[in-house]
Structure 1
Amino acid sequence: MYLLTNTLVTFITIYTYILIIRVLLTWFPNIDWYSQPFAAISQITDPYLNLFRSFIPPLGGIDISPILAILLLQVAGSLIGGLPGAFAYY
């Protein structure tokens, strides 16, 4: 059980870092999202971000969906990370 939760928390942490990199790269408008490695980052993060973009429209041209996406990942990581301690006594 510990290995599974540790793996999930590690995956969530790495994915959060990739999302942050994606958000930071959007500040540079001259990036070609069709060339590597930017295309790979886009393919990895867009399906998850599109879930939030479908119900959070851009406000004033600013996409705030990554904020909620990262927040949800952090909550999930905290909840999953707390599981091994809950089962340690059983």
Structure 2
Amino acid sequence: MVALIQTLVLAIDIYWWMIIASAIFSWLFAFNVINGRNQFVATIGDFLFRVTEPALRPIRRILPDLGGIDISPIILLLILFFVRQFILTTLAPAII
């Protein structure tokens, strides 16, 4: 059971970094720092979009329109942090 909890926490940590990478990639793309026509860059962007968008879309539907500011990644990171801490502080000590 401990291995399952450690694997779940690792998956949350990896997804955490993918959300951060997706946000940074979107900023770099928006400010034309990276070339979106490059196939390698487009592949990375498409991968990050496909991985993070299913979790970000419901949050974006709930949030009010803030103009050009998208805080849905921050909300998702806070949710993931809460879930990770809940697993580590509540579930893990009960099993060990």
The TM-score with structure 2 as length reference comes to 0.82
How far apart, in 1, do the equivalents of 2:56 and 2:50 lie?
A: 10
Stretches of structure 2 lacking an aligned partner (at least 5 in a row): none
| 1:85, distance to aligned residue in structure 2 (A) | 1.6
**Helix, strand or coil: the match of 2:27?**
coil
| Partner SS state of residue 59, structure 1 | coil
User: Which residue does 2:67 correspond to in 1?
Assistant: 60
Deviates more, 1:34-43 or 1:17-26: 34-43
Tell me, in whole angstroms, the C-alpha distance in 1 between the residues paired with 2:73 and 2:65.
Answer: 11
One of 72, 75, 81 as aligned partner of 2:79: 72
Q: State the shift of 1:61 in Å.
A: 1.3
What letter is aligned with 2:69? I
CA deviations on 1:9-47 (whole Å, 9 max, x unpaired) are: 000000000001111112121353982111111100000
Q: Quick check: 2:22–2:48 contact (8 Å CA) kept in 1? A: yes
Percent identity reads 35
**CA contact 2:56–2:73 (8 Å) conserved in 1:** yes
* 8 Å Cα contact 2:2/2:95 also seen in 1: no
Pairwise CA RMSD:
1.8
Structure with more helix by fraction: 2
1:44 counterpart = 2:51: yes
Tell me: CA distance 1:58–1:66, structure 2 relative to 1, closer, same or farther (3 Å).
farther
1:2 and 1:84 in contact (8 A); partners too: yes
